[in-house]
Structure 1
Amino acid sequence: MEPPLLESQRASLDEKTFGTDDDARLVKRQSVELFSTENPLKLAGGQEIGPIRVAYEMYGTLSPAKDNAFFICHALTGDAHAAGRYNLEDRKPGWWDEFIGPGRGIDTDRFCVICANVLGGCQGTTGPSCIDPKTGEPYGLNFPFITIADIVHVHKELVSYLGIKKLAGAIGGSLGGMQVLEWIAQDPDAIENAIVLASAANLSAQGIAFNAVGRRAIYADPQFHNGGYYDRAEEVSVQSDHPPNAPQSTVSKTGKGPRFGLALARMIAHITYLSESSIEKKFGRRLQNSEQLAFDLMRETEFQIESYLHYQGEQFVERFDANSYLYLTKAMDYFDLAESYHGLNNALGNTSARTLVASYTTDWLFPTAQSREIVSALILAGKHASFCELESPYGHDAFLVEVQQLTELVRAFLNS
């Protein structure tokens, strides 16, 4: 049985803005400039940055009391486009489309859902590919070092800008789950319901190792040019609604840059997102375009799994910036909730949030033991904590793939 809606929430139902049919699920990316040159964001590493442009999307209607906002924290290579389509001709909807909407896991009849591109990203929020207002050139590797705490500071500023005093909920998987954990540690009373999926209070040595190899692939690409690969003469804005002089994200028409290195980094990372059973079931040792082995060293896509990984790499370089990949993977490496707050109990001991932590049986990048560590710290601190290990053959990607079981879990948690 679902809990009754607040009057403020009920009032919002008269103007539904996000439905179930495609024509009722059209969305528009919005953006706002936060902080400024005079009032910059002070970063954990000691540097400052401002202004910061933040790209975000909203699904559903914010109640008059602004007490029904639910924040989506995206993962490493995600963005603000979590649901819906920009137009009916779009081939694919947002990355969590099946999970967000009326009657879905995050119910837009109850909640106004917000998703923002992270600081350091490359999809509308200020990052390395944006123009540095001090120089008129893309930041490149002159972009300041950022941490998960810095990313959360920006999200909190966005929430404040929208007039929201407290979030009804926040949810995230992987890097997104780290953001949720940092949020409830940094601001213990800011969130009513915190949901952490396939994540951890710090990245394991194994995770750091894979990130290091991915970054090395980018550094070693001859087209990396120490991060200065942006072709100013050919660049185009990926954000059309910037005011004059605002920092803008850019992509290159020429296709230059460390494309090979970034594709290789994606291929390496994608292996960690899968499980042995899912790879064996989907590909096994099957050949791609032949029934016999070619005995040819130069044939790079002889097996189906090779072809699949090459495809993932090729698709990734069309939508992601190599410098953003460097900065965000390093932010994951640095994340250590216990170290930052002098113990995990101290980090989570003051939160008033009801917390749900979920792991997946075949996720070896963020194994269940790390999720249990979070839950144990919450319980020892006397906090409301729920935990579930979900069965799935899909490895770390399960929180994006197994939408139906996640919907049932989240719905039960929010309705309890």
Structure 2
Amino acid sequence: MPALTPVLAPPAPNPVDLLFHAAGQHATHPEADPRVGAVLHFTGNPPDLAQLRGRVSRRLDRLPCLSHVLRADDGPPRWAPVRPDLEQHVDAHRSRAGTDGVDDAVRELLRQPLPVGAPAWRLVVLAGHAAHEYCLVYLTHHSVQDAGNIVSVLETLFGPDQDGTPTSSTVPRFEGAGLPGPRQVISTVAHTWRGTRPHGLWSSPAQPLSGRRHTLWQDMPNRLLRETARAYGATRNDVHLAALTHAISQWAAEHRPEACRDPLPMMVPVNLRTHDETALSGNRFFLARLDLPGGSMPAPVRLRRTLAPTAPLKDPAYRQSLYRLTRHTPRTLLDQVIARSAQPDSLTAVGSIFTVRKPLRYHGDPVHRFAPIICCPNGFPLAVGLFLYGETSTASFRIDSALTGAEAIPRLWRQAVDDMAASVGAAVGGE
């Protein structure tokens, strides 16, 4: 089925786009290729492929990230428009019956290549795991699309039409804001440069990472996150990062003692995508590094101690300064900062969070679960992406298989949040 190509062209690829492009080319194993996406779980009967392709075709002009290819091997890096063949990009896959059928099928799809010489994305109908249920699996490459683009694509395809609500993919708080003052800019520059310091926590030659990945998911009620955050005067991201640090520290105490340290460096993506950049190809975020409270301590204590190091993430001036630095810093200097951050001695665990605000459905079938698919390129020990949708939060875990016993980290993460919540409940009950 021919599809019209949007006329809106993205600007030139940025250093983060090229970094992910290189990570894909030099991945030591297909599981380390930075492929990302999401799994939408629907209640209903599987859709007709022709109708689904028609839906994509009609909305393609609003999604330039679906019709451009990153060219970086024959001249200056650029985005080239390419007409997607929806017969190739939109297809179906059968999963086995049972509770693990979807997860196993997604792992299998991640091992399959994305379309060659065409825009790097697939939309796959997944059925067979349960009666009156199906999934739509959206897969793409991080050099082309970040979390904001993934959400833009899925909200455009399956969200309400022209409902007036802002897209979940952009950050409105700093749009139109005044210029950050010199003190704020200097503070942001210093914070950013400190985050590039090497620590060597995960690059020991005696304990090399493998490039192989565990691919796991863990659910949590949104209400639990929300009420726990409120009780501690925190954000849901604070709860998530504290729980992740707690899980890593608990695991490390048994299996990798040198990583059970305080502080524990964590990389956190900061979304910088503006409304005008909705669905444009490429990445619009900055990977900040925070030094979070590591070592051995109770989960509630860790959450309280997390509030100070995460304070910049809650400051609109910090985000505005990052935005201006990434847009207006000379390219050679920005390349240097990003390259320094990407050195093996500087890489560490990644913890991200994203809220999907719009309700999604297809032909009346509601989405009852939005499961992200995060990537974990070479050099990273693990990456975790938590997406909040409806009543459920779902976290995607990609963990290097060389980390003995680390497949327990999702369970430990969930237990940490339960412990934080229980501590608050016990305190309230005793008052």
Bigger strand share:
2
The TM-score normalised by the length of structure 1 is 0.25
Q: Which has the higher contact order (CA 8 A, sep 6+)?
A: 2
The TM-score normalised by the length of structure 2 is 0.24
